[in-house]
Amino acid sequence: MVKQTRSKSAVSNPAMLELERGPSQNNLEWGEQAVYEMGTGDDKNWTYVVLLGGSDTMSFRLRVAQSHIRNDMLPSYWSESILVELKGASVSKANAIHVPLLQPEGPEFPTRSNGVRVRSLRDYADPQRYPNIAVIALPVAQAEILKRVEAFRNSKSTLDALEHVLRWLAFCWGAAATPNPLHDNYGFPSACMLETVFAAANLDLTPGLEARASCPEAIWVAARFWQDYFEAFRGAVPQGRYWTPHAYAITEPDDGKSSNSKKDVRASASRARTRRGR
């Protein structure tokens, strides 16, 4: 069972707003617009995290696995979380830092970097492959976080990210009857990396959940509902924009008491079908 503390905030973070992605925009172009609207500026005072929701089979497995984090038990919108390394004011040359489940070949053996990989943010530009997207600005300097990432790469003493990779691959592939790793407090490797490096910089990324059990859904919930905590301990709340057109069609009997989240899922699924012309 996933143990977590619920936020006492009665309302969601007003700085986390929906931003529709235009029909001709890719995810990078949408991200540029999102950061401009947020008005958070460069990386001197903020670090950017991006959540992505894929539409392939592995993403389906990952999104459903996180339903245990949600009150309504519906699939998460998210399957991936990455740290954005800005290089200048534009995202055109930005890098994505994460711990992928599918570790690429070379240039170094994964154990030498604790599974951490750096790739171009452009790899995530396709809105068909990654229809759901959120960009979250957190009140800590990027340079401080990158320093902590380097320490994470060079030591597995705090968290062995590759152990988490193996657990999640076995679950996604249905190998060896592996149960949902979240039930054994094994979080998504990228989310756990983010938890570790932000904690080293004195920012608890998901106050309601144990760091080694983190996942994209937990980061999403913290950014949306733990604004009082961030305001008290950091003097600023997360800023963000999101667009979630992709959801799995789930129909519940309507007894007039359906939660907003269920209605949101149905509405999102309807929007996705409309955009695909179905």
Place of tokens 């919108």: 77
Would you call the peptide bond into 110 cis, given omega within 30 degrees of 0 as the criterion?
Answer: no
For position 264, what pLDDT does the model report? Answer: 53
List residues bridging with 133 in a β-sheet. 52, 243
For position 257, what pLDDT does the model report? Answer: 57
Work out whether the CA dihedral 253, 255, 258, 264 comes out positive or negative.
positive
Residue 83 gets which letter from DSSP?
E
For position 144, what pLDDT does the model report? Answer: 97
| Residue 246, burial from CB neighbour count under 10 angstroms (0-12, 13-18, 19+) | buried
Cβ proximity of 208 and 222 under 8 Å = yes
For position 71, what pLDDT does the model report? Answer: 86
CATH 3.90.1720 corresponds to the domain 16-246: yes
pTM here is 0.88
Q: Which two tokens stand for residue 28?
A: 């990078």
Place of tokens 């604790």: 114
- How far apart CA 85 and CA 63 sit, in angstroms, is 25
Where does 26-182 show beta strands of DSSP type E?
A: 47-53, 80-85, 95-98, 117-120, 132-138
Distances (CA, A) of 71 to 1, 146, 251, 268: 13, 34, 17, 18
Cβ proximity of 77 and 63 under 8 Å = yes
Work out whether the CA dihedral 100, 103, 105, 111 comes out positive or negative.
positive
- How far apart CA 183 and CA 176 sit, in angstroms, is 16
- 161-173 vs 57-65: helix axis angle to the nearest 10? 110
For position 6, what pLDDT does the model report? Answer: 62
List residues bridging with 81 in a β-sheet. 51
Helix then strand then coil, % of the chain, to nearest 5: 40, 15, 45
Residues of the chain falling short of pLDDT 50: 259-260, 262-263, 266, 268, 270-278
For position 255, what pLDDT does the model report? Answer: 67
Q: Which two tokens stand for residue 72?
A: 């309504």
- Residue ranges per structural domain of the chain: 16-246
Cβ proximity of 117 and 97 under 8 Å = yes
* pLDDT tens-digit readout, 34-55: 999 999 877 899 999 999 999 9
For position 275, what pLDDT does the model report? Answer: 41
Residues 6+ apart with CB under 8 A from 152: 114, 116, 158, 159, 161, 193, 196, 197
